[in-house]
């Protein structure tokens, strides 16, 4: 689940011209052919935690891969998820593996083809210095958790880390109750609520669930199984271009993406974008773990199986209720795409 932001939300369908007309020699042949039109439905409004996709759009990477990409923004009142199985979009940026596992239980014919967050940014926050480590959080008298997550990672927190329902209070996407209670704990995205608290003059400690064994992926690309079967070349080009976009966003000149994000989401400014970007990079959300070995977007079916086993043990699912083997394919990732580019960009520093 994506944590809503504290600003006016709206949805825009965008067909965007690239920021540059320069075509790499390797892309000339593809560029002379008609572009394949595809839509990526995002899981929230334009923001730095989606930056690689905006980079690929803004600097022409998608076009050099023969793609005319539309970016469809999300928001609290927007359900882009229903558009994918309905055939209205080709790709969907989805949150975590719980949602992906749920599609197998519901027999929805979609599949994950890349995972752009190796570490999910979901965590718990506390007032700075209040608790010395994650284990102490279970001593808090109040833990604010959104209703949907009470049936998700909260069950895992109870089963694996000893949290109790007596601590539970509903998180209504307002920081005020947490800020008013210095002993409380709250769910958060590491790239969002801690930054909002700082803006209001409060320092927080962030404890990522990913560091405590909650090994879901995040910001995954989901598509329909029939598209994978009938047009794997299109899927491969979209995934490859997105990986290159993320590589340039993290290690190159990210100005095109940042300018485009600000254009689409006027609630953001340079300071907010850079603060979120620094969180994405410093926490190793994108380029860490297996991604360091096989490239950004790395996806391991074995890891999905392990996550599913943890969720079954936590009581979220019954044995046999979901099929972790049907969640994702490794067909389009783990091929070291973008790693040479990353080395080149790092060498220029």
Which is nearest to 48 in space by CA: 272, 244, 287, 199?
Answer: 272
Which is nearest to 156 in space by CA: 266, 263, 321, 316?
Answer: 316
Condensed to tens digits (0 to 9), the pLDDT of residues 44-56 reads 899 999 999 999 9
Q: Report the pLDDT value the prediction gives residue 45, as an integer from 0 to 100.
A: 92
Q: Report the pLDDT value the prediction gives residue 192, as an integer from 0 to 100.
A: 94
Q: Report the pLDDT value the prediction gives residue 30, as an integer from 0 to 100.
A: 56
* Residue 338 burial (10 A CB sphere; 0-12, 13-18, 19+): buried
Percent of the chain surpassing pLDDT 90: 86
3-state secondary structure the chain: CCCCCCCCCCCCEEECCCCCCCCCHHHHHHHCCCCEEEEEECCCCCCHHHHHHHHHHHCCHHHHCCEEEEEECCCCCCCHHHHCCCCCCCEEEEEEHHHHHHHHHCCCCEEEEEEEECCCCEEEEEECCCCCCHHHHHHCCCEEECHHHHCCHHHHHHHHHCCCHHHEEECCCCCHHHHHCCCCEEEEECCCHHHHHHHCCCCEEEEEHHHHCCCCCEEEEEEEHHHHHHCHHHHHHHHHHHHHHHHHHHHCCCHHHHHHHHHHCCCCCHHHHHHHHHHHHHCCCCCCCCHHHHCCCCCCHHHHHHHHHHHHHCCCCCCCCCCHHHCECCCCCCCCCCHHHHHHHHHCC
Q: Report the pLDDT value the prediction gives residue 139, as an integer from 0 to 100.
A: 96
Q: Which residues contact 20 (CB under 8 A, 6 or more apart)?
A: 59, 60, 256
Q: Report the pLDDT value the prediction gives residue 95, as an integer from 0 to 100.
A: 87
Domains of the chain: 13-118+216-347 (3.40.190.10), 122-212 (3.40.190.10)
Condensed to tens digits (0 to 9), the pLDDT of residues 247-279 reads 999 999 999 999 999 999 999 999 999 999 999
Could you say which residues of the chain have pLDDT below 50?
Answer: 1-26
Condensed to tens digits (0 to 9), the pLDDT of residues 172-207 reads 999 999 999 999 999 999 999 999 999 999 999 999
């Amino acid at each position: 689940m994506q944590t809503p932001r504290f600003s006016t939300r709206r949805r825009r369908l965008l067909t965007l011209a690239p920021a540059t007309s320069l075509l790499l020699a390797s892309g000339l042949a593809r560029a002379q052919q008609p572009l394949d039109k595809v839509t990526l439905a995002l899981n929230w409004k334009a923001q730095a935690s989606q930056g690689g996709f905006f980079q690929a759009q803004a600097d022409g990477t998608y076009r050099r891969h023969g793609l005319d990409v539309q970016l469809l923004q999300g928001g609290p009142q927007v359900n882009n998820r229903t558009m994918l199985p309905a055939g209205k979009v080709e790709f969907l940026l989805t949150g975590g593996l719980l949602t992906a596992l749920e599609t197998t239980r519901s027999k929805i014919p979609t599949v994950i083809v890349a995972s752009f967050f190796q570490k999910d940014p979901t965590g718990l926050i506390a007032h700075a210095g209040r608790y010395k480590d994650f284990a102490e959080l279970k001593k808090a008298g109040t833990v604010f958790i959104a209703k949907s997550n009470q049936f998700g990672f909260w069950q895992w927190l109870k089963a694996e880390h000893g949290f109790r329902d007596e601590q539970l209070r509903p998180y209504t996407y307002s920081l005020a109750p947490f800020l008013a209670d210095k002993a409380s704990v709250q769910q958060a995205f590491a790239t969002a609520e801690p930054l909002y608290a700082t803006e209001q003059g409060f320092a927080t400690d962030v404890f990522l669930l990913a560091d405590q064994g909650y090994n879901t992926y995040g910001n995954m690309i989901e598509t329909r199984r029939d598209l994978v079967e009938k047009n794997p070349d299109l899927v491969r080009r979209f995934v490859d271009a997105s990986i290159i976009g993320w590589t340039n966003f993290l290690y190159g000149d990210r100005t095109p993406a940042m300018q485009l994000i600000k254009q689409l989401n006027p609630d953001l400014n340079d300071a907010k974008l850079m603060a979120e970007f620094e969180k994405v990079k410093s926490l190793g959300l994108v380029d860490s773990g297996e991604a360091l070995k096989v490239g950004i977007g790395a996806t391991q079916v074995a890891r999905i199986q392990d996550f599913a086993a943890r969720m079954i043990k936590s009581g979220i699912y019954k044995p046999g209720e979901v099929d972790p083997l049907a969640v994702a394919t490794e067909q389009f990732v783990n091929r070291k795409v973008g790693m040479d580019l990353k080395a080149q960009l790092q060498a220029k520093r």
